[in-house]
């Protein structure tokens, strides 16, 4: 019998890669997405075309704030695995939308787990926890490090993390947290700093923009590739016991390093094209330094990332250049012209 997986946030970066991975492993995937005024199926259009008509991918409209529709689906399809990836995932925006962030990220997790407990206790549950939970705790951070969240996003993820542990410890559910450090890809949202850098650089080369405006570029993050991390997410639910795992590369770099590496691919001097410390992008409380220790996942799950920061920057830049009709070689030629 084929395994059935539910994915909330299937239209997002991780949800789309995870859906592809599970379909390649012969799962039947149920993607849970919210209604938006403008269809945003770009990241999953390819798998819709390939798998929906065969009944291997089914999409359902739900909103994470609507318990009854999620419960109805759990009762109807009895999934083997439930991946809760949907969230208000932007730390910067969470400062302005704190209540909604807590509602979507924290309370919805409680509702889903309560529904699994009441209706389908055998279902394994994955919670998308985040390194932002560590906040101001000095690096390196691992599963035992204390949480010191610095944003409504971080607070909401801590609440969801403990909710997941509570349903595991008090009610015996197979419920695990993946504490994932930052991971990016060509599918990262345009308002996240890494994607903003690669996308704006492609626009500069195409003549649509002159400069990239950033905030504090000294903050450090442990950046991996989403493709590596969704493999780890799947491995967490295949582990014999429900447990919590950090997924990280173990290396950290500043935003400035990310900028330098990306511009270096094209041989451009970044200082000519990047404006920093712009007030609009400074946060009321900044998480300065995240660097994960993922030894537990590497040992117990045999997980390790394939991408490093250089290959990540290259993958993202190439993809954004392609959006503007350019190959890497053509971009290098244009770069020579604009740097004169
Ligand atoms: N990427 C990272 O570095 C990272 C690190 C640690 C943890 N995480 C967590 O991992 C998960 C996946 O991250 P990601 O990078 O894939 O984020 P993403 O690209 O922003 O995707 C978030 C998904 O959640 C959906 N969503 C938001 N609000 C919803 C609601 N009220 N009802 C239903 N769906 C809703 C979004 O739908 P729309 O497409 O309609 O907006 C989207 O599909 C998130 O929970 C994130 O917080 C991410």
DSSP line for 283-337 = -SS---B--B--HHIIIII-------HHHHHHHHHHHHHHHTT--HHHHHHHHHH
**Three-state DSSP state, 84:** strand
User: What pLDDT does 333 receive?
Assistant: 96
Q: How far apart are CA 246 and CA 179, in angstroms?
A: 5
Domain boundaries, the chain: 4-184+223-247, 193-221+253-288+309-338
**Which member of 17, 51, 83, 153 is catalytic?**
153
pLDDT in tens, the chain (340 residues): 899 999 999 999 999 999 999 999 999 999 999 999 999 999 999 999 999 999 999 999 999 989 899 999 999 999 999 999 999 999 999 999 999 999 999 999 999 999 999 999 999 999 999 999 999 999 999 999 999 999 999 999 999 999 999 999 999 999 999 999 999 999 999 999 999 999 999 999 999 999 999 999 999 999 999 999 999 999 999 999 999 999 999 999 999 999 999 999 999 999 999 999 888 888 878 888 999 999 999 999 999 999 999 999 999 999 999 999 999 999 999 999 998 7
Q: Which atom of ligand 1 is nearest to the CA of 43?
A: 39
- C-alpha–C-alpha distance, residues 61 and 69, integer Å: 9
Residue 243 among the catalytic residues: no
Tell me the fold of 193-221+253-288+309-338: UDP-galactose 4-epimerase; domain 1 (3.90.25)
Catalytic residue among 132, 145, 151, 307: 132
CB 11 within 8 A of CB 86: no
Does residue 133 line the site of ligand 1, with CB under 6 A?
no
**Residue 89 Cβ contacting ligand 1 at under 6 Å:** yes
Stated as kind and residue range, the H or E segment containing 231 is: helix 226-238
What is the atom index within ligand 1 of the atom nearest the CA of 129?
Answer: 7
Question: What does the DSSP 8-state code read for residue 172?
Answer: -
Check 87, 94, 130, 294 and give the catalytic one.
130
How far is residue 185's CA from residue 230's CA, in Å, rounded to a whole number?
Answer: 12
Give yes or no on whether 4-184+223-247 and 193-221+253-288+309-338 have one common fold: no
Q: What's the CA gap between 193 and 207, in Å, rounded? A: 20
Q: Find out whether the beta carbon of 185 lies less than 6 Å from any atom of ligand 1.
A: no
**In the beta sheet, which residues pair with residue 261?**
none
Instruction: Write the CA distances from 206 to 17, 176, 265, 321, integer angstroms.
Output: 28, 45, 16, 9
Q: Say what the pLDDT of residue 97 is.
A: 97
Structural domain 4-184+223-247, CATH architecture: 3-Layer(aba) Sandwich (3.40)
E runs forming strands in the chain = 4-8, 28-33, 57-61, 81-84, 124-130, 175-180, 183-184, 212-213, 220-221, 224-225, 245-247, 253-254, 274-275
């Amino acid at each position: 019998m084929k395994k059935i997986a539910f994915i909330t946030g299937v239209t997002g970066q991780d949800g789309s890669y995870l859906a592809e991975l599970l379909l390649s492993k012969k799962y039947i995937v149920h993607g849970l997405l919210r209604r938006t005024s403008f269809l945003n199926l770009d990241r999953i259009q390819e798998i819709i075309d390939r798998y929906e008509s065969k009944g291997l991918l089914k999409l359902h409209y739900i909103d994470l704030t609507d318990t009854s529709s999620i419960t109805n689906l759990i009762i109807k399809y009895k999934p083997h695995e439930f991946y809760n990836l949907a969230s208000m995932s932007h730390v910067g925006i969470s400062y302005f939308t704190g209540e909604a962030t807590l509602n979507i990220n924290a309370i919805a997790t409680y509702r889903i787990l309560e529904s699994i407990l009441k209706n389908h206790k055998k279902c394994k549950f994955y919670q998308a926890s985040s390194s932002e939970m560590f906040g101001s705790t000095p690096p390196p951070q691992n599963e035992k490090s204390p949480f010191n969240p610095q944003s409504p996003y971080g607070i909401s993820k801590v609440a969801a993390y403990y909710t997941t542990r509570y349903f595991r410890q008090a009610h015996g559910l197979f419920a695990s947290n993946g504490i994932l450090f930052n991971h990016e890809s060509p599918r990262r949202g345009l308002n996240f700093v890494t994607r903003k850098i690669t996308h704006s650089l492609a626009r500069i080369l195409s003549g649509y923009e002159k400069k990239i405006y950033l905030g504090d570029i000294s903050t450090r993050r442990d950046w991996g590739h989403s493709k590596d991390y969704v493999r780890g997410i799947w491995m967490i639910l295949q582990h014999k016991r429900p447990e919590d795992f950090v997924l990280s590369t173990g290396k950290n770099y500043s935003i400035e390093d990310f900028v330098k590496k990306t511009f270096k691919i094209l041989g451009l001097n970044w200082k000519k094209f990047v404006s920093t410390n712009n007030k609009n992008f400074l946060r009321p409380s900044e998480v300065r330094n995240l660097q994960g220790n993922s030894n537990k996942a590497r040992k117990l799950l045999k997980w390790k990332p394939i991408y490093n920061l250089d290959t990540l920057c290259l993958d993202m830049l190439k993809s954004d250049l392609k959006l503007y009709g350019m190959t890497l070689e053509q971009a290098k030629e244009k770069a020579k012209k604009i740097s004169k």
